Amino acid sequence: MRLTYTSDVWWKNAVVYCLDVETFKDGNGDGVGDFRGLTQQIDYLAGLGVTCLWLMPFFPTPNRDDGYDITDFYSIDPRLGTLGDFVEFMRTAHDRGMRVIADLVVNHTSDQHPWFKESRKSKSSPLRDWYVWSDKPEPDDPSKVVFPDKEDSLWEWDNRSKQYYLHSFYKHQPDLNVANPEVRDEITRILGFWMELGLSGFRVDAVPFLIENVDPKLPDPHEFLQDMRAFMTRRKGGSILLGEVNVPYEDLVAYFGDGLGDQVTMCFDFISMQRAWLSLARQNAGPLADALRERPEPPKDCQWAMFLRNHDELTLDKLTDEERQEVFDAFGPEKDMQIFGRGLRRRLPTMLGGDLRRVKMAYSLLFSLPGTPVIFYGEEIGMGENLDEEGRLAVRVPMQWTRDGGFSPAEPVREVPEGSFAPERVNVADQKRDTASLLRWFQLLIERYRECPELAWGTYTVLDAGHHAVFAHRCDADGATVVVAHNLCDTAVDAELELAGLEGQQLTDLLVDGTLDVSADAKVKLPLEPHGCRWLRASPPEIAPEDAGVMSQ
């Protein structure tokens, strides 16, 4: 395949790194992360191999929902810096070859936003229809209450204007009404404003809520997504929308734009993520293999975003009650590790007991799965959570730079974990000096992933490995093939793969030294250590592996 394609459609094999400015690095010594601190660490992120930064909300906020309750979509929260600091950060990131996207949280605002304050003044307010109001709210469906630990209804009575307003999330976050053309126009202004300051796109928060919880109901809700995408393409070709769309596969394809691919550019694969955790819990590749076999192909130039953990709870809502309990039992058996009855508020390394073999295998699996990998800050050093923090804040702890924390000379905005995941045991400085560290493993995985565009661009096939604990697949693109296998169990196994079309070729290991030969009947035996992983490039004996099927022009 032509490597030039991977710059035209850059998102298909990007490495996306999600961070919260507030908890990444303090640049002015007040205990709160900021854009000056983040800018100081751009070279660290570039050295890691990150190609796209995803910023969690950085807008002015009362901070009742960690910044997702916004009072001004056109500015920077003063705790995090100024627009000038933001522009300097953007310039530095671009200079190091990194694109930047940001959270687009326009399903709702804070109840302190000037729009809502005006809207609630009276039923005749000019901004009244910017939100969803009702004299008699629809009956509540308990299954649709997103935060059942805090809310028991989607409607809240406003005593001032004598009506109910809709809030899909917290009551202090009233829903915007995108059925109103003025609201849609304002959202495009927000997009245009930040794109002028250098953003390459947006991660769209809660996409189904954005287009469905409106009044009156839109005849075709997806037209709004089409309009957003068209506007962005006109303003900046190559910009993207990364959608948080946690719905079954059969419903999700419409968010890409069916076969046209003219709506959301990338969608998170929540189904494969949850099935991967079930596979890890069972030490059985079956659930993950089934998910990828069921997964529909996205439209041309669209892509799946792959992840194992993110900034929210580890949601397990698409598993059955019995399957969810299996994952709870394996990775979060205590009640304070669980949240909302459907997820876990832990980071991956703690869920895997700090076992570096398992942790390295899990991240190797992530980077090799067909799609674009998305990682959460601190994953590259194996940071843990702080269960003393409320709710989902448990995983949003300050970044651990040195043995004494290194996040800030002042008291940090949140407490860091204690025990085996405390900064004195888990930090960037130590792992930079350790060739066997998780940080160095991440750098190797990212380097190899970027050298293997077949993993993201190619046609993938889930393979029968002859052992229940082995997940194996191959990715083919324009005559080039990469074969990957992961052992999910704690005993050594020999996988047996049938690789049609690769008869007589050689498989070169990309993570360690070594080669294997594919037999004349297209079979190969693949030894795997406990929680072992192998990435292998196929090539005829007379062709160097790095030249096999990949053209530079």
Q: Are the C-beta atoms of residues 402 and 425 closer than 8 Å to each other?
A: no
The Cα diameter of the chain in Å comes to 79
| Catalytic choice (65, 244, 262, 476) | 244
Beta-bridge mates of residue 101:
54, 201
Indicate whether 549 pLDDT > 80: no
Answer yes or no: 389 catalytic.
no
- Tell me what the mean pLDDT of segment 293-301 comes to: 96
Residue 469 placed within a domain: yes
Indicate whether 552 pLDDT > 50: no
Alpha helices in 76-180 (DSSP H): 83-95, 114-119
- Tell me what the mean pLDDT of segment 144-156 comes to: 92
Alpha carbon distances (Å) from 43 to 85, 143, 207, 373, 407: 17, 45, 33, 20, 16
Domain boundary among 166, 187, 207: 166
| pLDDT at residue 550, as a whole number | 56
Per residue in 398-438, pLDDT (tens digit) is 999 999 999 999 999 999 999 999 999 999 999 999 999 99
How many CA atoms within 13 Å lie on the side-chain side of 255? Answer: 29
Identify the CATH number of the domain in which residue 126 sits: 3.90.400.10
Residue 139 placed within a domain: yes
Answer yes or no: 244 catalytic.
yes
Identify the CATH number of the domain in which residue 463 sits: 2.60.40.1180
| pLDDT at residue 7, as a whole number | 87
| pLDDT at residue 398, as a whole number | 98
Domain boundary among 133, 148, 166: 166
Residue 480 placed within a domain: yes
- Tell me what the mean pLDDT of segment 63-91 comes to: 98
Rounded Cα distance between 120 and 157, Å, is 11
- If you average pLDDT over every residue of the chain, what do you get? 96
Higher pLDDT, 7 or 140: 7
| Catalytic choice (205, 262, 323, 380) | 205
Domain boundary among 166, 184, 208: 166
- Confidence class for position 355, pLDDT limits 50, 70, 90: very high
Domain tally, the chain: 2
Per residue in 219-277, pLDDT (tens digit) is 999 999 999 999 999 999 999 999 999 999 999 999 999 889 999 999 999 999 999 99
Does residue 342 sit in helix, strand or coil? coil
Which residues constitute the domain of residue 468? 458-539
